Amino acid sequence: MKTNVSQVIVTTSTGEQKRLGDYQGDVLLIVNVASKCGFTKQYTGLQALQEKYGAKGLQVLGFPCNDFGSQEPGSLQEIQEFCSSTYGAKFQLFEKVHAMGNTTEPYTTLNQTPPIGDVAWNFEKFLISKDSYVLGRFKSGVEPESPELISAIEEALAE
């Protein structure tokens, strides 16, 4: 069964509650991010995806997470400043979440996507269709520029 995220409620960077279903009609790339990780350089590629495909309906949504090696210790404001000044990343960042163990949304729902289980590390990506269904789950090592991810995004945008 496909996982639908339309009813999932997350907390924006301004503390507001937002349903992921509010993005219906857009393709989402949901990523758990961290500022002190070996994969942190992926911020550049994620921003490039937002710039290249944003006008076509892609929304990159970053969820800071300190679950893996305490690699995201800062406040949301510090994280936003770091991402913007170091990587030019301006895609949407949300309140910090837990992606493993005692998870918080959106991961309580996303971790039910095959292969079922907690996110394994920072920068794991979930691609969500225009109608709020999870289309794919990409491990941390799948870079934003990878043909596998680009192909899946372009296919989702074309639907």
Enumerate the domain spans of the chain.
9-158
pLDDT digits (tens, 9 = 90+) for 40-86: 999 999 999 999 999 999 999 999 999 999 999 999 999 999 999 99
Instruction: Identify the architecture of domain 9-158 in CATH.
Output: 3-Layer(aba) Sandwich (3.40)
pLDDT at 2: 87
pLDDT digits (tens, 9 = 90+) for 99-134: 998 899 999 999 998 888 999 999 999 999 999 999
Determine the Cα–Cα distance for residues 142 and 123; give it in Å rounded to an integer.
9
Q: pTM of the predicted model, to two decimals?
A: 0.96
92 pLDDT band, cuts 50/70/90, is very high
pLDDT digits (tens, 9 = 90+) for 20-31: 999 999 999 999
Amino acid in the structure at residue 134: V
Q: CB 56: neighbour CB atoms within 10 A?
A: 12
Mean pLDDT of 139-157: 98
41 token code pair: 């350089």
User: Which residues make Cβ contacts (< 8 Å) with residue 1, sequence separation at least 6?
Assistant: none
24 token code pair: 């219906």
Tell me: pLDDT of 1 over 80.
no
The catalytic residue positions are 37
pLDDT at 102: 87
